[in-house]
């Protein structure tokens, strides 16, 4: 009888263990994949959102989606996109739509002129610079290295912990935090040069996975 009771207790314990096992986690979207490539296709449709123009292209390899800094591109135009990054299962909250795959880049050539309509000064980044998306996606390789980034100041907080803090965007929804001794105003488009640091904890709740420090505004 004792053995039977013990076996029942063990069996019950096993059932409880099984019951609390977490369910399999759903697949998550893949992280950005840096690329150096080009994509050529005819524009089927365009969608503007979040400072980007999404281009539905008919290419030699089938239909694909690309995203470039907001620009005026006519349906039927043939464009060449210099691809910088690919994102799978990309969700655009502005469009309330999830794309199977989006190739992010810039328009290299088109058979009709692309007229920028968003923030052209942000899109026209200087040679050797990185976009904010590139800084995030290439953060491991950029750790403790100097970078040049051009963006629009969306937040500026002066004199905190002996430095000024600015948040930059270059057309997307992602911020890049920068510390500097220089000053800027919200709405300014600036080019900054500073050093990329990762997982920086200043205390008092100031923790940053990616931050550019000791930056200067390039005139």
pLDDT 10s digits, 104-163? 888 865 554 333 334 433 444 556 788 888 898 899 999 999 999 988 898 898 988 889
Does a structural domain hold residue 146? yes
Buried b (16+ CB within 10 A) or exposed e, 50-87: bbbbbbbbeeeeeebbbbbbbbebeeebebbbbbbbbb
- CATH number for the domain that contains residue 136: 2.40.50.140
What residues are paired with 196 via a beta bridge? 212
In terms of residue numbers, what domain contains 174?
A: 123-217
What the block records as the tokens of 138 is 């290439």
Q: Please give the tally of structural domains in the chain.
A: 2
Pick from 118, 144, 162: which residue ends a domain?
118
Has residue 28 got a pLDDT over 80?
Answer: no
Helix, strand, coil fractions of the chain, as percent rounded to 5: 15, 55, 30
Q: What is the pLDDT of residue 37?
A: 67
What span, in angstroms and rounded, lies between the C-alpha atoms of 22 and 73?
48
- pLDDT, one tens digit per residue, over 159-197 is 888 899 999 988 766 789 999 999 999 888 899 999 999
Task: Specify whether 113 is located in the same domain as 128.
Answer: no
Q: What is the pLDDT of residue 118?
A: 40
Does a structural domain hold residue 137? yes
Pick from 118, 148, 165: which residue ends a domain?
118
Has residue 205 got a pLDDT over 60?
Answer: yes
Owner of token pair 């314990």: 13
């Amino acid at each position: 009888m004792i053995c039977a009771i013990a076996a029942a207790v063990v069996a019950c314990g096993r059932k409880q263990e099984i019951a609390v096992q977490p369910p399999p986690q759903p697949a998550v979207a893949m992280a950005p994949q840096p690329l150096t490539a080009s994509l050529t296709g005819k524009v089927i449709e365009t969608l503007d959102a979040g400072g980007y123009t999404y281009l539905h292209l008919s290419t030699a390899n089938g239909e694909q989606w690309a995203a470039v800094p907001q620009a005026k591109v006519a349906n039927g135009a043939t464009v060449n996109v210099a691809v910088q990054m690919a994102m799978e299962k990309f969700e655009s909250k502005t469009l309330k739509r999830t794309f199977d795959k989006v190739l992010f880049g810039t328009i290299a050539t088109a058979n009709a002129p692309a007229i920028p309509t968003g923030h052209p000064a942000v899109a026209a980044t200087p040679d050797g610079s990185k976009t904010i998306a590139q800084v995030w996606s290439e953060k491991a390789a950029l750790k403790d290295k100097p970078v040049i980034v051009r963006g629009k100041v969306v937040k500026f907080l002066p004199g905190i912990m002996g430095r000024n803090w600015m948040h930059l965007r270059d057309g997307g929804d992602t911020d890049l935090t920068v510390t500097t001794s220089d000053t800027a105003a919200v709405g300014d488009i600036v080019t900054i040069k500073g050093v990329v640091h990762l997982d920086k904890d200043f205390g008092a709740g100031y923790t940053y996975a990616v931050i550019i420090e000791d930056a200067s505004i390039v005139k």
